[in-house]
């Protein structure tokens, strides 16, 4: 059995010991002894010592209301600290051992590709044109408060300072002292948000990720990419190259979130410009100190006259304009009218003076200086631009149709909503090709339509660099795309914005290729989009709709066919992957996922959402961000230049057969069993999730209704909290059972061997099954469910989970789960003594919470402790939804 690396074990021990000191100090030794007793009972329970499980449950059942909160907080804090130690271990300086966490270097991947027959020219061309965009989304999965995140970041800094063999005793003591202070501060800080963040708060959190991590990480990453590319191909990265971009949905995603209005979106655009100006100001001040040279090119001297410090003159002018820009943005947010003269608005206003300094230094033989901090600032200027982040807008197709319908109705041209698709297209194209304004003066639209038009106006006022994609959910026809373009044009838009249909449900995915072919048939549109199209694949909703196995296969086939259709029409396709952090929402190791995409579908461009707590796990620290950027970039380059082979026709038939079984068995439970929704509500903390002030979005699309009305994130969150992990395996269990009965497991093993998609699917399933826990799921049921019919359903589901584990082990020819992932397995084992008490506590707290609600009043300590258990289990599982 693989143990934790000694250094990681020592860090976990140190952090745990310091937390223990804080607890002994407050609430006191009795509380500390109780927590230790609970931890020992949980460990014994895991070792299945006789009577230990009952001992743990008895101890937890005896906790008074006043003891509940400190106990839950202690286990939650330890899990957060264990995550920190593990996260730091993945990026530490003296790695030596941690091969499981190391990322293959760019240089190694380039060498491997060249050895496989990729020419230096092709490698350079593809890397120079690479387009990877990370889209930060505010889906409510970041449980930790930002206040604590900042403390945790400093804890990571302290661990790095301790990671030296030559520390003097006094130096070590000082660092450990600071660690102790930070952990005590965290212990005395409320880890639960009591107010929901607004959409603007979420956007600010996104900007903070750039300020605290990506601002430093991105130029470092690009330096490594430039160096590796030069070594592999003889040529470096062009100065203006932006292989990686950052976009955001925070403040732009209004689908199902009434809190995101046009005023919110305008404020977020302005705050981005304020933050960018502030960050560039810091860079420019540092550069003015650096660039004290007197030699300048004729081009530079023509701009600065006879100055003895020409670079400082140019940078001083840029500094003054940045200050004006920052002041303008701040005043605009406050609603004050400000003179816009001399502010930086277009991106070239920022990059031109920087590149002038760069060219001058190179011309004067000072390349070494040019390639220092100045180059880093130029790279930032091209990547982040003056808007800092590209904002996506997302809205439902029906809202645009409603807006066009109101205009058409007011003009007396008919009932747009009753027109056929052909009639809608003919009207929209006629208007798009004409020059007259469509929106009549003096017309008073409904409130809903006024909001759509106002949003279009805010978007039309931005520069191209400020905008990502306009994503349309529930899009199924060319008119859904054309109506958005028309509404934007009516609002004054003068350049083409990417308009991106989102296909989410099983039916959407299956209809996507035909829908896109119909759009490409429109000659005017192919010209408008300049033969470049983005299509978004939604992972969460298709998984909730059809089960994980069917959803994964439908996504794969949709991507294959969308790639083929785009190629047929001579259109370059970028697939935008709306993946979550969990397997049930398309998550999992990023490079594995990218390298298992259909051949040809990753063609030098790739867009992906990064959600909630995954943003922090991947980009929260500069070194972590460099590692993540490297991981994604190597995978996208490899999937572009050396894609996996297409699956055999016989393997496709097997997948069709398996997914037909899995879809039927998944829907039979989730949609057709009359007891399922009641069981789900009773056995999981779903109804209590609304108490966690996680994000600005409501947890439900509608206040009532079944599973279909629930957002994908709470759906996954709830099952993860009680460890049944149902969305990620239900359906697969019956499919694997049938495969075994029909003697088809050898065929599946052959598919695992030769088809990265299927291998990745099986490995992700194994990871989820390893996180499931039958005893814990059973305890939730016995604590929270009384009805015998519901208990029978629960017993059936647990039996199916057990069967799924058996069949998976048989398929992989293993004795136990995670045999080939020993580090992950051990990481789970280390967490169990801390997550187990939280699970048992949560079930008990849910019971008390529901009983108190029936009486009309929930004790504050019960409600607070319940929220802490949710946060702690999320930390222990390393994800929420």
* Among candidate residues 64, 73, 18, 88, the one with its CA nearest the CA of residue 621: 88
Give me the catalytic one of 204, 390, 400, 544.
544
* Among candidate residues 786, 839, 782, the one with its CA nearest the CA of residue 678: 786
275-281-286-289 Cα dihedral, nearest 10 degrees:
-170
Cβ-based neighbours of 684, under 8 Å, separated by 6 or more: 718, 719, 721, 722, 724, 780
Q: Which residues pair with 499 in a beta bridge?
A: 470
Give me the catalytic one of 89, 139, 577, 867.
139
Residue 572: active-site member? no
Bridge pairing between strands 390-396 and 244-248: parallel
Contact between residue 766 and residue 760 where contact means Cβ atoms under 8 Å apart: no
Burial grade of 111 (CB within 10 A; 0-12, 13-18, 19 or more): middle
Count of CB atoms situated within 10 Å of the CB of 266: 20
| Rounded-to-integer distance, Cα 510 and Cα 512, Å | 6
| Rounded-to-integer distance, Cα 144 and Cα 141, Å | 9
Residue 544: active-site member? yes
User: Which H or E element spans position 589?
Assistant: none
Residue located via tokens 């409510």: 140
Tally helices (H) and strands (E) across the chain: 38, 8
Burial grade of 7 (CB within 10 A; 0-12, 13-18, 19 or more): buried
Helix (H, G, I), strand (E, B) or coil at 192: coil
Contact between residue 499 and residue 392 where contact means Cβ atoms under 8 Å apart: no
Cis status of the peptide bond prior to 516, with omega within 30 of 0: no
Contact between residue 811 and residue 745 where contact means Cβ atoms under 8 Å apart: yes
DSSP 796: H
Cβ-based neighbours of 491, under 8 Å, separated by 6 or more: 453, 456, 457, 459, 460
| Rounded-to-integer distance, Cα 512 and Cα 519, Å | 11
| Rounded-to-integer distance, Cα 109 and Cα 225, Å | 11
Burial grade of 754 (CB within 10 A; 0-12, 13-18, 19 or more): middle
Q: Which two tokens stand for residue 741?
A: 């009965």
Residues assigned a catalytic role: 139, 544
């Amino acid at each position: 059995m693989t143990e934790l690396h000694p250094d990681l074990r020592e860090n976990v021990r140190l952090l745990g010991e310091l937390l223990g000191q804080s607890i002994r100090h407050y609430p006191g030794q009795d509380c500390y002894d109780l927590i230790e007793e609970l931890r020992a009972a949980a460990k014994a329970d895991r070792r299945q010592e006789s009577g230990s499980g009952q001992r743990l449950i008895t101890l937890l059942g005896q906790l008074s209301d006043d003891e509940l909160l400190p106990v839950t907080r202690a286990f939650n804090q330890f899990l957060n600290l264990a995550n920190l130690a593990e996260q730091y271990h993945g990026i530490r300086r003296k790695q030596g051992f941690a091969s499981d966490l190391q990322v293959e270097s760019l240089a190694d991947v380039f060498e491997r590709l060249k050895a496989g027959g990729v020419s230096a020219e092709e490698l350079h061309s593809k890397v120079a044109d690479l387009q990877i965009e990370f889209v930060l989304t505010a889906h409510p999965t970041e449980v930790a408060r930002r206040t604590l995140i900042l403390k945790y970041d400093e804890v990571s800094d302290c661990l790095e300072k301790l990671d030296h063999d030559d520390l003097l005793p006094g130096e070590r003591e000082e660092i450990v002292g600071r660690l102790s202070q930070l952990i005590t501060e965290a212990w005395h800080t409320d880890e639960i948000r009591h107010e929901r963040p607004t959409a603007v708060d979420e956007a600010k959190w996104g900007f903070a990720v750039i300020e605290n991590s990506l601002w430093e990480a991105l130029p470092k990453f690009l330096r490594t990419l430039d160096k590796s590319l030069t070594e592999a191909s003889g040529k470096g990265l062009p100065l203006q190259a932006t292989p990686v971009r950052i976009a955001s949905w925070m403040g732009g995603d209004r689908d199902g979130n009434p809190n995101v209005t046009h005023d919110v979106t305008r404020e977020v655009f302005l705050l981005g410009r304020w933050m960018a100006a502030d960050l560039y100001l810091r860079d420019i001040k540092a550069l003015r100190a650096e660039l004290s040279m007197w030699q300048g090119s004729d081009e530079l001297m023509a701009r600065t006259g006879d100055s003895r410090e020409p670079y400082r003159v140019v940078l001083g002018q840029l500094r003054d304009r940045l200050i004006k820009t920052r002041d303008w943005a701040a005043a605009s947010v406050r609603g004050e009218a400000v003179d816009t003269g001399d502010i930086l608005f277009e991106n070239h206003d920022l990059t031109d003076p920087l590149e002038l300094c760069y060219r001058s230094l190179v011309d004067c033989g000072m390349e070494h200086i040019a390639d220092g901090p100045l180059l880093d600032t130029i790279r930032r200027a091209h990547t982040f631009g003056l808007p800092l982040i590209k904002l996506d807008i997302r809205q439902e197709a029906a809202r645009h149709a409603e807006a066009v319908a109101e205009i058409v109705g007011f003009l007396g041209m008919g009932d747009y909503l009753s027109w056929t698709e052909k009639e809608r297209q003919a009207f929209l194209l006629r208007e798009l090709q004409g020059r007259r304004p469509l929106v009549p003066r003096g017309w008073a639209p409904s409130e809903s339509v006024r909001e759509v038009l106002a949003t279009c106006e805010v978007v039309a006022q931005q520069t191209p660099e400020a905008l990502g994609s306009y994503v349309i959910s529930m899009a199924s026809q060319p008119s859904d795309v054309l109506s958005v373009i028309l509404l934007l044009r009516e609002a004054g838009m003068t350049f083409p914005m990417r308009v991106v249909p989102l296909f989410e449900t099983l039916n959407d995915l299956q209809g996507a290729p035909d829908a896109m072919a119909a759009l490409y048939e429109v000659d005017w549109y192919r010209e408008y989009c300049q033969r470049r199209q983005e299509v978004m694949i939604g992972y969460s909703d298709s998984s909730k709709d059809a089960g994980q196995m069917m959803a994964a296969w439908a996504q794969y086939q949709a991507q294959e066919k969308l790639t083929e259709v785009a190629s047929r029409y001579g259109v370059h396709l970028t697939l935008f992957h709306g993946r979550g952090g969990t397997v049930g929402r398309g998550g999992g190791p990023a490079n594995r996922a990218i390298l298992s995409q259909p051949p040809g579908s990753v063609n030098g461009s790739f867009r992906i959402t990064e959600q909630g707590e995954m943003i922090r796990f991947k980009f929260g620290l500069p070194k972590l961000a460099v590692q993540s950027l490297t991981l994604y970039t190597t995978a996208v380059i490899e999937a572009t230049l050396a894609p996996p082979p297409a699956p055999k026709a016989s393997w496709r038939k097997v997948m069709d057969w398996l997914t037909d079984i899995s879809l039927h068995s998944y829907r039979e439970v989730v949609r057709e069993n009359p007891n399922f929704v009641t069981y789900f509500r009773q056995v999981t903390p779903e109804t209590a999730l609304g108490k966690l002030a996680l994000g600005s979005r409501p947890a439900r699309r509608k206040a009532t209704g079944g599973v279909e009305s629930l957002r994908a994130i709470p759906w996954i969150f709830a099952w993860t909290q009680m460890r049944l992990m149902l969305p990620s395996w239900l359906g697969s269990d019956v499919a694997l059972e049938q495969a075994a009965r029909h003697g088809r497991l050898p065929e599946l093993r052959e598919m695992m061997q030769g088809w990265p998609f299927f291998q990745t699917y099986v490995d992700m399933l194994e990871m989820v099954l390893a996180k499931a826990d039958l005893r814990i799921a059973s305890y939730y049921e016995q604590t929270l469910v009384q009805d015998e019919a519901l208990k029978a359903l629960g017993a059936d589901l647990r039996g199916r989970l057990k069967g799924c584990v058996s069949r998976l082990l048989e398929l992989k020819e293993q004795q136990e789960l995670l045999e080939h992932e020993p580090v992950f397995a051990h990481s789970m084992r280390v967490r169990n003594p801390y997550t187990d008490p939280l699970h048992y506590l949560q079930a008990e707290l849910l019971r008390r919470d529901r009983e108190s609600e029936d009486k009309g009043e929930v004790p504050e300590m019960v409600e607070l402790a319940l929220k802490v258990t949710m946060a702690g289990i999320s930390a222990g599982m390393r994800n929420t939804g």
